[in-house]
Amino acid sequence: MAAMDNIYKDSQKSTVKSGLLYRPIRRKRCQLQTIMILLASLILSLFMLLAKASCSHTVPPTASILNGTYEGRHLPEFGQDLFLGIPYALAARLRNPLPLNESWTGVRDATRYTVACYADYYPGTLESVGVTVSENCLNLNIIRPAGTTSSSRLPVVVWVHGGGFFGGFGADGNTNTSYVVRDSVENGTPIMAITINYRLGFFGFPGGHQVAAEGVTNLGLKDQRHALRWIQENVAAFGGDPSKVTLWGQSAGAISIGHQILAYGGNGAEELFRGGILVSGSAGLATNMLLPTHPSIMEAYDGLLNATGCADADHTLNCVREAPADIVWKATIGAPFPSWWPSIDGDFVQKPPTWQILEGGIAPVSVIVGANNDEGLATAYAFAASETEADAAALLHLQFPAARDSTIQEVLAAYPVDAPSPPYSLPVSSDPANDPFCAALREANMTCGAQYRRMAGIYSDYAQIGGRRLTAREWARAGIPAYSYRFDTNPTDIPIVKNVLAPGFATHSAEYSYFFNFPPEYDMHGLNPPVRNVSSHLTLSRNIVDKFIAYIATGNPNSFSVPDVPEWPQYSVSEPTNMVFNATFADNTIHTRVEADTWRGEGLELWVKYAVELSFNGNWRP
């Protein structure tokens, strides 16, 4: 775990300077005795204050919850206290989570990150960067400003990591919340942050007839729910206000927040949190929601049984429960999407989320919801070599096996090959062979077929942007505050700088370093681009974070003014708007503004019109 000890540290360290201002004092000789007494008292008081300050940095922070007392660690670089690896629930394999039922005397250590959940990474991948994986992984981490006490009642933001429901962990350095907490203190609106783990892949989202019969579906979502209940019961002991909890997540984390709002038919979420920040994901549209007994899931489950030697067991689920964890883990890696994914179980997820949203089954929880300009450059890159319209149609049939030919043709007609496409900052050439973006990709030894940008536009709207608009509109229709944004800033440009996940521009996950206000030198491990080291981009990053902090603190992103950012209007059905977060590189200028959210109406409405048809695989439907 040595590599994890520094995950919230950075080469750019903050320092705290203090001093005393002395001013000469003259008094009559007859007052000398009084002065000496006062000076002695002042010196004694100053000594006691210095001793207290010294102790505040040497005596570890503690917090006493219902079960017992935890000891955390102080992080002087940020002026923060950390409580790490705290268990929040019990979870036997393929069982529903249970509340912690033990108490202890003395003090338990919470100074180190503990374990991540099994994920769809090949064995050794996480271990190579110092991360231990285990089934006993339901833990959380708390980051608070130093000096916070149980009476501070700070607003709380809970980070729900993404990763496609098969990857990620709460202590990932790419989602380091220390910078956001530090900025909140500088703003005079201090908050605390909590990051959580939840079960992933087959361990978190199993399927099959026995899974459905025992009601052990959507375990990862239920884990998240238990974390939120633990926070309600215990966060006050760490100085947080349980009535001011906001969830914040990206991609699968944002989808998770949508599911938490819609859970159990939209009942009860408001008792656990009051707001959500949904970054590049939502519960509606692109969630590929299947029943847990869908044939494609059963096929994946049968493959798992064969790999674990459980195919002939009388009770296959119990057999899998008893098999060695590593064997089960390895047998689930690389299963076809969406084998291990949230499912419509009639309980936690009671119906297709798009239906529920359109019917108004939404808990009264406000949201900020948004997406990046060029999301699909990442999600469509696997199909970057597609050259012809027949290729594009075949790929859409592969993605949407239940779609009728007429539906596929309607989608292609709404996204013609010569229409503006990601990256929207570059025009589409009438001659695909001379397209400037494709030329730049090829210069970087990357693939770019004639249909790539078109497919990227389709995938942008299907996977993120359509759900963003649907969520904002239907929340507004239900009278629930919603604020929508579009991230329109290019962290990379031509010449292309390829990151692991995407070929540059404002694609999926390109916002990470901006939304956490990381300094340009912060190590993103090649997964995502850093903030560009120019004043416009650095200022934009801080502006975005300040808007989020205002929302976390008060439920309103306009609760304090932010330079260069106009008033952020609530979304309206009659006047839909986005906040556009934009900074240029060439002229080093910020162009953040409010726009009408009316563009690409035909294409975006198709995803609502055919939401259910495009969500179910094969010719089988519920």
Partners of 81 in the beta sheet? 74, 144
Give yes or no: 251 in active site: yes
| Pair 372, 508: CB distance under 8 Å | yes
Alpha carbon distance 110, 87 (integer Å): 10
| Pair 209, 509: CB distance under 8 Å | no
User: How many residues are listed for the chain in this entry?
Assistant: 622
Residues 6+ apart with CB under 8 A from 127: 133
Within a 10 A sphere around the Cβ of 371, how many other Cβ atoms? 29
List the catalytic residue out of 256, 280, 282, 375.
375
Residue 158, both tokens: 């809970």
Tell me the C-alpha to C-alpha distance, in Å, between residue 193 and each of 180, 447, 525, 557: 8, 40, 23, 17
For residue 470, which phi and psi values (nearest 5 degrees)? -60, -45
Strand residues in 25-66 grouped as ranges (E): 62-64
First to last CA, the chain: 46
Partners of 83 in the beta sheet? 142
The H-or-E segment that residue 589 falls in is none
Nearest to 373 by CA among 461, 441, 286: 461
Tell me the C-alpha to C-alpha distance, in Å, between residue 591 and each of 484, 572, 587: 17, 23, 11
Alpha carbon distance 286, 353 (integer Å): 10
Partners of 593 in the beta sheet? 580
Tell me the C-alpha to C-alpha distance, in Å, between residue 276 and each of 38, 260, 362: 54, 10, 13
Return the C-alpha torsion angle 560, 561, 563, 566, nearest 10. 130
DSSP secondary structure letter of residue 427: P
Give yes or no: 186 in active site: no
The H-or-E segment that residue 588 falls in is none
List the catalytic residue out of 184, 251, 282, 541.
251
Q: Is 61 helix (H, G, I), strand (E, B) or coil?
A: coil
Catalytic sites, residue numbers: 251, 375
